[in-house]
């Protein structure tokens, strides 16, 4: 199949969903890099294939979908000549996501992602199977770091080569730059919170705000708005809506990190406990346990960050979080944030069809089980 204009072809069919448009744009982009990658030799081709498969094998495509729908909501026309370029620009967000996930898995020492070995584990296994010299684990982490860096570089390339006009490119550039700075800063705040044992709810919410909420919903919505040259009031409404939904999205992720079904989430349940994640759920749990059950508080603190945990011990933590009211507290926060976001959306000038879609996406993101 000729992939040189896959995006326009899928868009032209008129029935594609945002996820299908994103898939087409990503396939098109990866195909555009084939010749360049091949010049570096077979080993680089093999390594880049790992990145390509990682990006294409799954994912909800939340970030590009929010950006695309925001563009439509701000007056964008999916039948216009420039629509395919907008799809490509929005889809570049998925490569930022790939970078974040690959690096995050290294930081968290995660072994699976979407039901497959994480990238650093896959490369370590390859090193081990080939009986190469040196540490397999170190090789795997080094290769994954480089592929994560490549994903971020390619995200910039995909945006720059998307075909959007010069005015749109100038509008989107500062938003794109801010988003990249925030997601990397949020990741640093996350590891510092773990290292510094900051148990405060405020610290956990700050990590959620910049590590996840900004680049998951808020900035993608803003990118869609500026690509459409939206009015300042609508852009501001998008950002407010996006911040609240992004925070609620991460709070749901916090719950899934402890209570999620591995068969559905694709990651081992309880990993956040083993990794010592200072999530809002754990921060609320420790605060409530300090007040109502000091014994339970000691159990939470002694368990958090313990790699070799039995399922029974994880079950004890789950019970404590439920019993002290932490789970109910986080559920209330998700509900309050979602309600406020939907009210903001309803009062905005978003085109009605796109507004309905954004509402559905917000509810799906904050009530998901995966």
**Would the pTM count as exceeding 0.75?**
yes
Percentage of residues in the chain with pLDDT exceeding 90? Answer: 80
Residues 98 and 54: beta-carbon distance below 8 Å = yes
Model confidence at 4, pLDDT cuts 50, 70, 90, reads low
Q: What is the pLDDT of residue 1?
A: 37
Nearest-angstrom CA–CA distance, 119 and 97: 14
Residue 207 has pLDDT above 90, yes or no: yes
Per mean pLDDT, which range of 139-153, 179-193, 351-365 is the poorest? 179-193
Model confidence at 20, pLDDT cuts 50, 70, 90, reads very high
Mean pLDDT to the nearest integer, 284-305: 94
Tens digits of residue pLDDT in 273-294: 988 888 999 999 999 999 999 9
Kindly report the average pLDDT of the chain as a whole number.
93
Residue 261 has pLDDT above 90, yes or no: no
Percentage of residues in the chain with pLDDT exceeding 70? Answer: 97
Residue 58 has pLDDT above 90, yes or no: no
Model confidence at 266, pLDDT cuts 50, 70, 90, reads low
Domains detected in the chain: 1-164 (1.10.600.10), 166-370 (1.10.600.10)
Model confidence at 2, pLDDT cuts 50, 70, 90, reads very low
Nearest-angstrom CA–CA distance, 111 and 137: 12
- Is beta strand 116-117 parallel, antiparallel or unpaired with respect to 112-113? antiparallel
Q: What is the pLDDT of residue 269?
A: 74
| Exposure class string for 348-364: b at 16+ Cβ within 10 A, else e | bebbeebbebbbebbee
Nearest-angstrom CA–CA distance, 56 and 245: 25
Tens digits of residue pLDDT in 160-174: 999 999 999 999 999
């Amino acid at each position: 199949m000729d992939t040189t204009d896959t995006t326009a072809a899928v868009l032209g069919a008129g029935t594609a969903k945002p996820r299908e448009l994103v898939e087409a744009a990503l396939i098109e982009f990866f195909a555009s890099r084939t010749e360049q990658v091949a010049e570096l030799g077979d080993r680089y081709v093999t390594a880049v294939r790992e990145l390509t498969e990682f990006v294409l094998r799954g994912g909800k495509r939340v970030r590009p979908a929010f950006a695309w729908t925001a563009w439509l909501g701000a007056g964008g026309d999916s039948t216009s000549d420039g629509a395919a370029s907008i799809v490509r620009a929005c889809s570049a967000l998925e490569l930022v996501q790939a970078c974040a996930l690959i690096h995050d898995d290294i930081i968290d020492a995660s072994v699976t992602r979407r039901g497959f070995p994480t990238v650093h584990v896959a490369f370590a296994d390859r090193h081990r199977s080939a009986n190469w010299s040196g540490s397999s684990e170190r090789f795997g982490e080094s290769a994954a770091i480089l592929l994560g860096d490549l994903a971020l570089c390619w995200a910039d390339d995909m945006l720059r080569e998307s075909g959007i006009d010069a005015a749109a490119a100038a509008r989107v550039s500062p938003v794109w730059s801010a988003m990249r700075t925030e997601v990397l800063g949020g990741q640093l705040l996350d590891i510092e919170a773990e290292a510094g044992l900051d148990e405060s709810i405020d610290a956990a919410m700050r990590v959620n705000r910049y590590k996840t909420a900004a680049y998951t919903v808020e900035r993608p919505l803003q990118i869609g708005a500026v690509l459409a040259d939206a009015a300042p009031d609508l852009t501001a409404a998008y950002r407010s809506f996006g911040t609240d939904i992004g925070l609620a999205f991460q709070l749901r992720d916090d719950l899934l990190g402890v209570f999620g079904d591995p068969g559905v989430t694709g990651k081992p349940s309880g990993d956040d406990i083993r990794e010592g994640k200072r999530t809002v759920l754990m921060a609320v749990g420790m605060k409530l346990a300090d007040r109502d059950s000091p014994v339970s508080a000691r159990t939470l603190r002694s368990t958090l960050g313990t790699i070799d945990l039995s399922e029974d011990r994880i079950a004890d933590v789950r019970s404590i979080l439920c019993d002290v009211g932490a789970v109910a507290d986080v559920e209330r926060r998700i509900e309050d944030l979602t309600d406020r976001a939907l009210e903001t959306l309803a009062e905005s000038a978003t085109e009605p069809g796109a507004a309905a879609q954004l509402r559905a996406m917000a509810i799906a993101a904050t009530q998901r089980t995966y």
